[in-house]
Amino acid sequence: MKHIALLAAMMAVLAPSAMAGAAPATSAQPGEAPERAVDSLFAAWNRPGMPGAVVEVIREGKVVLSKGYGYADLEHNVPMTPAASFTIGSNSKQFTALSIYLLAQDGKLALDDDVRKYLPEVPDFGKTITIRQLLHHTSGLRDYFDLMFLKGARIDEVVTQEDVFALVKRQRALNFAPGQQFLYSNTGYLLLGQIVQRVSGMPLAEFARMRIFEPLGMKHTQFLNGYGTLVPQRVRSYLPSGAGGYDYVAVCEAADGAGGAVTTAGDLARWDRNFYDGRVGGMDLLAQMQVPGTLGNGHPNNYASGLLIDSYRGRRIVEHGGDISGFHTQLTRFPDQHFSVVVLANSPDLDKDELVRKVADIYLDHEVPAAPAAPMSPDKMFREVAFDPAGLDALVGYYALSPQAGVQGVHFTKEDGHLWAQGTGQPRIPVFPYGQRSFFAKAINAQFTFDAPGKDGIVAGGVLHQGGHDIPAPRVARQTPPAETLARFEGEFYSDELHVLYTVALGKDGLTLTYPRGTAPLDAKGKDEFGASFRFGGVNLDYQCSPTSGCTGFSLSTDRAWSLQFTRVDLAPAKPR
């Protein structure tokens, strides 16, 4: 089973014309106040019609900067303020993790306990999954977001705790043996929230309120029990639209543990302070919570418990981010400098990871020695430029990224005067010019440079720049297997784990996969392997075929849910009444 991501990301989205992507370290100019330098960083969003962010800088336990940029609500022209309340997505995991550690401190559970001791409904996969493995994302459990989308859920559809738990209970296999690999799994933290409820006798939301939020004075923080709960000064979230504006996108999550918390920058400052004074849990417990996991081969895993342990320019950092719908949030702590930065944004075109680091550079570079920032090549600095739409015609075509031309590649198309790119088995996304032959994707850190046209006006190829690699991409005629070869892959296929039926049918343009609430063309990737682009990202289908029995089924995989089995079924036609 192969996992190849080309020009795609989970719920890929666009960005403003001033790209806030990777850039060199940013320090305040001599004599320039740090606050002014931060204002410059967020100037692209601090204007009418733009979502934005709240930025908070915490030093020695005190907030030294707290500002809002852009708008919290575009429809009602509500400016962003430091008091704004954000849905923080996976940043919620650190609250779930501390809840588990508090119960362990109380003697109510042990981190190396079998999960099924508290949740016997979790399937017996033949190998023990421990609470510690859930904390460290080494359980092997398939991610419930991918499972829900494969089942047919929409991004704007309410997903409840009951929906997710019922789906987890139907799983027959893991991605890998527990403890052997790291793979981020929201399922693990959902189960941790369920364990808190089983052990404490109260929902996670109530336990966290009583044991964490109230003792720390976090009056504006809560796990939501339902997506419709009223939250004062709640920020609305947005996704960029293809027309250059923004569309509102609702957060319909009604499950906590992996996410589900709302909070403010001020409350996160109180949470951050707890890691220095240990008011809740004590310093020993908080230190344990920041110990990274270890994989089965003995190699360290830099994910601890709801916290990522890393470094930036030679400085230790402890951080976590959260991304859901249009919300992108980040809390990064520099423990040796007793310094933290919070960025809470309501649109994903604001690169919160990079901006957190730039803010830290502004405040720390002039007083704390640090390793130099990695040099950035000019193609990492992106700003959309004017481009004659007529010039796009020469770029349209299929560019192969594999030694086998046509098996893996990027297909460029032109629509309404804009260039679009679609990697094999991935969503189609717009790309934008930052030079006369160079284009960048605003959703992810990926760029494509086209060769200069030949004398005949034909572009012979280009180069994909992604993940630190420059991948040659010759332009080729897209290869499609003949119809007689594709016909054997047709049929109805059922997954008992998802309780869904997929249909594969052959048409004049090749194979099409129909799944709940969607269709997708199948791109050939190998002899019996295909890729498809679903609404939320790419999937791989590996058929099981033999000369005698034909193709009896396929295994379907996403980045976080591997090898779901679909079996060919023969459906009897409906009888006439």
Residues 450-492 have pLDDT tens digits of 999 888 888 999 999 886 788 999 988 766 788 888 999 999 9
pLDDT at 377 exceeding the cut of 60: no
pLDDT at 69 exceeding the cut of 70: yes
Q: Which residues contact 180 (CB under 8 A, 6 or more apart)?
A: 138, 140, 295, 296, 297
User: How would you write 385-398 as a 3-class SS string?
Assistant: CCCCHHHHHHHCEE
pLDDT at 527: 86
Tell me the angle at which helices 352-364 and 34-41 cross, rounded to the nearest 10 degrees: 160
**Residue indicated by tokens 């004599």:** 31
Average pLDDT value for residue range 181-185: 96
Q: DSSP states of 194-207 as a string?
A: HHHHHHHSS-HHHH
The sign of the torsion formed by the CA atoms of 125, 127, 132, 135 equals negative
pLDDT at 194: 96
More confident site: 114 or 440: 114
pLDDT band per the 50, 70, 90 thresholds, residue 22: very low
- Condensed to tens digits (0 to 9), the pLDDT of residues 88-122 reads 999 999 999 999 999 999 999 999 999 999 999 99
pLDDT at 372: 57
Average pLDDT value for residue range 189-206: 97
Task: Measure the CA–CA gap between 494 and 564, rounded to whole angstroms.
Answer: 10
Average pLDDT value for residue range 7-14: 31
Task: Measure the CA–CA gap between 82 and 418, rounded to whole angstroms.
Answer: 37
pLDDT at 5: 35
pLDDT, averaged across the chain: 87
- Report residue 51 as tokens: 């979502």
pLDDT band per the 50, 70, 90 thresholds, residue 228: confident
Q: Which of 5, 1, 132 is nearest to 426 (CA)?
A: 5
pLDDT band per the 50, 70, 90 thresholds, residue 263: very high
For residues 256 and 223, the answer to whether their CB atoms sit within 8 Å is yes
Least trusted range by pLDDT, from 4-18, 129-143, 274-288: 4-18
Q: Quote the pTM value.
A: 0.83
pLDDT at 20: 33
pLDDT at 402 exceeding the cut of 80: no
Q: Which domains does the chain have, with CATH numbers?
A: 76-140+175-330 (3.40.710.10), 380-476 (2.40.128.50), 483-569 (2.40.128.50)
pLDDT at 32 exceeding the cut of 50: yes
- Report residue 400 as tokens: 């192969």
For residues 432 and 242, the answer to whether their CB atoms sit within 8 Å is no
pLDDT at 30: 54
Least trusted range by pLDDT, from 49-53, 217-221, 237-241: 237-241
pLDDT at 226 exceeding the cut of 80: no
pLDDT band per the 50, 70, 90 thresholds, residue 375: very low
Q: Which of 312, 32, 401 is nearest to 41 (CA)?
A: 32
Strands annotated E in 442-495: 446-450, 461-466, 469-476, 491-495
Q: Which of 203, 283, 224 is nearest to 92 (CA)?
A: 224
Average pLDDT value for residue range 534-545: 87
Task: Measure the CA–CA gap between 352 and 310, rounded to whole angstroms.
Answer: 16
pLDDT band per the 50, 70, 90 thresholds, residue 161: confident
Q: Which of 485, 493, 499, 464 is nearest to 150 (CA)?
A: 499
Identity of residue 162: E
pLDDT at 156 exceeding the cut of 80: no
- Condensed to tens digits (0 to 9), the pLDDT of residues 486-530 reads 999 999 999 999 999 999 999 988 999 999 988 989 988 878 999
